[in-house]
Chains A and B, each alone.
Chain A
Amino acid sequence: MFIINCPYCGERDQTEFSCGGEAHIERPKQPTELSDDQWAEYLFMRKNIKGVQFERWNHAHGCRKWFNMVRDTSNDKIQAVYKMGEKPPVK
């Protein structure tokens, strides 16, 4: 359990948030032209990194806004929080 600094509300308990998984997975631009392999890649395959990972979070019991987070999954330390649409801080 940890404290998350919501970019809209400030520091709140992690229990107020829900995790939306890996960030920056781009929706296919031409879905009709995708092969089955590409669909599998988009829908199911995940980096699941042990280390620094980019992910989406939602302040479900707060402002209900989505944002991105850079977190080290090997020690749960949050390195950065940034809004949707913003470029990830270079790491």
Chain B
Amino acid sequence: MKNKYSIFSLIKNALSGHENWQRAWRDPEPKKEYDAIIIGGGGHGLATAYYLAKKHKLTNIAVVEKGWIGGGNTGRNTTIIRSNYLWDASAGLYDHALKIWEGLSQELNYNVMFSQRGVMNLAHNLQDVRDLKRRTHANRLNGIDAVWLNTEEVKKFCPIINTSPDIRYPVLGGTLQKRAGTARHDAVAWGYARGADAMGVDIIQNCEVKGIKRNGDQVEGIETTKGFIKSKKIGVVAAGHSSVLANMAGIRLPLESKPLQALVSEPVKPIIDTVVMSNAVHAYVSQSDKGELVIGAGTDSYVSYTQKGSHNIVEETLRAILELYPIFSRMKMLRQWGGIVDICPDASPIISKTQIKGLYFNCGWGTGGFKATPGSGDLFAHTIANDEPHKLNAAFNLNRFVSGDLVDEHGAAAVAH
């Protein structure tokens, strides 16, 4: 039984020098067999395990992670959460996630620092204006909050933006989703891990999957660095390495893995209290609770697993940031990094069964998976438990690349790719 985190437990532990906190999750050795195995201990994988245990009563399950939990893209994203996507299928998916975010800290008894500070998307040319207005209307028809702001309203909402008409890409307006915002990415992984562990889920870290064993068209288990683990249900949530795992199972995916970069500045006093994204000039920025500017850059055009990315991508982003926010001209950047994102041809994810029985894939989140973490976990758990997709992820099946029924979200994805 996990002790509940509260103001009282905080005081109690403060008085004993914070040395007696119960550990948040166990560090078990893998059993010989599980009812289900999740490959990938990021936010999505841990959320999947959490909902499998909680909603579908599957507790004899394991999450295997080659490094440490939350050490991949969960710890590398820019923590932006929003649901203002264009198509009905995406609206359903991302708003499902957003609704779970709204009560997540309470549900997990873990402060994920979800902050609905709003996300503003800027328009820099006439086509942007048309596209964003169209998206605003589509969002509202789907019950998602969205408003169009003209240039003056943009300036009022975020005064540090340079709205001068003579900059190279002037601000012609923008959309605002007020329910959108940010959360603490590590806390999301840790909160789900703690919750899943409390229900009996084994979280096995430093355990790399080396092979997926099939018997005909049925999965049998996984070869790992800690030996063979048997299971008839395997859910793969491996982000940039999805194709590597698909290859082990002998199937093909429509993915390309590319480095997506982000960077943070030195910490400063509060200066920007919202998230501003600008797809056309490829810059988005928010400020963390520590005071760092969190800046998202773009993807490289080529496949790479290096978690680095090219310097020119960062340069382009900072150029755009400086033109839009001249006040940042003397900020020093502290860290830069890359995460490997698996991008689908239609910039929408795959939460799907495969042609192999008992093998499920949750991948293709590309440049924007963090926002969907709770919804993705919930729907993937449903898909694994019932061997059928939930109606909210039915459109995000693998078969859409055969039928042609794509969900083209290139316009609403944060990063043009």
Interface set of A (CB-CB < 8 Å, partner B): 1, 14-15, 18-19, 21, 36-37, 39-41, 43-50, 53, 55, 71, 73-76
A39 to B403 alpha-carbon distance, docked (Å): 10
A37 to B404 alpha-carbon distance, docked (Å): 10
Interface positions, chain B 329-354, Cβ under 8 Å from A, are 342, 345
Q: Does B320 contact A (CB under 8 A)?
A: no
CB distance from B403 to the nearest CB of A (A): 7
Query: Which A residues are in CB contact (< 8 Å) with B305?
Result: 50, 73-74
Query: Which B residues are in CB contact (< 8 Å) with A43?
Result: 345, 401
Partner of A47, one of B243, B308, B402: B243
B254 touches A45 (CB 8 A): yes
CB distance from B57 to the nearest CB of A (A): 36
A70 to B373 alpha-carbon distance, docked (Å): 36
Tell me the nearest residue of chain A to B257, going by C-beta. A48
Query: Which A residues are in CB contact (< 8 Å) with B311?
Result: 1
A15 to B302 alpha-carbon distance, docked (Å): 12
Given A1-B310, A1-B311, A37-B402, check contact A76 B304 (CB 8 Å). yes
Count CB-based A-B contacts (< 8 Å).
68
A8 to B134 alpha-carbon distance, docked (Å): 46
Interface positions, chain B 192-244, Cβ under 8 Å from A, are 241, 243-244
A73 to B303 alpha-carbon distance, docked (Å): 6
Given A1-B311, A44-B345, check contact A18 B301 (CB 8 Å). yes
A39 to B308 alpha-carbon distance, docked (Å): 34
Q: Does B256 contact A (CB under 8 A)?
A: yes
Query: Which A residues are in CB contact (< 8 Å) with B257?
Result: 48, 50, 73
A46 to B402 alpha-carbon distance, docked (Å): 14
Q: Does B255 contact A (CB under 8 A)?
A: yes
Tell me the nearest residue of chain A to B316, going by C-beta. A15
Given A44-B345, A45-B401, A74-B305, check contact A15 B253 (CB 8 Å). no
Q: Does B127 contact A (CB under 8 A)?
A: no
Tell me the nearest residue of chain A to B403, going by C-beta. A36
CB distance from A59 to the nearest CB of B (A): 14
Query: Which A residues are in CB contact (< 8 Å) with B301?
Result: 18-19
A48 touches B303 (CB 8 A): yes
Could you show 17 A-B contacts with beta carbons less than 8 Å apart? Answer: A21-B303, A36-B403, A36-B404, A37-B402, A39-B402, A40-B401, A40-B402, A45-B401, A46-B252, A46-B254, A47-B243, A48-B253, A48-B256, A53-B303, A74-B306, A76-B306, A76-B308
Q: Does B312 contact A (CB under 8 A)?
A: yes
Query: Which B residues are in CB contact (< 8 Å) with A75?
Result: 306
Tell me the nearest residue of chain B to A1, going by C-beta. B310
B304 touches A73 (CB 8 A): yes
A39 to B400 alpha-carbon distance, docked (Å): 12
7 more A-B contacts (CB under 8 A) besides A55-B302, A73-B304, A75-B306? A19-B303, A39-B402, A46-B253, A47-B247, A48-B303, A49-B303, A53-B303
Query: Which B residues are in CB contact (< 8 Å) with A47?
Result: 243, 247, 252
A39 to B311 alpha-carbon distance, docked (Å): 36
CB distance from B280 to the nearest CB of A (A): 19
Closest 4 CB pairs of A and B: A44-B254, A48-B243, A19-B302, A1-B310
Partner of A48, one of B255, B308, B402: B255
A15 to B257 alpha-carbon distance, docked (Å): 19
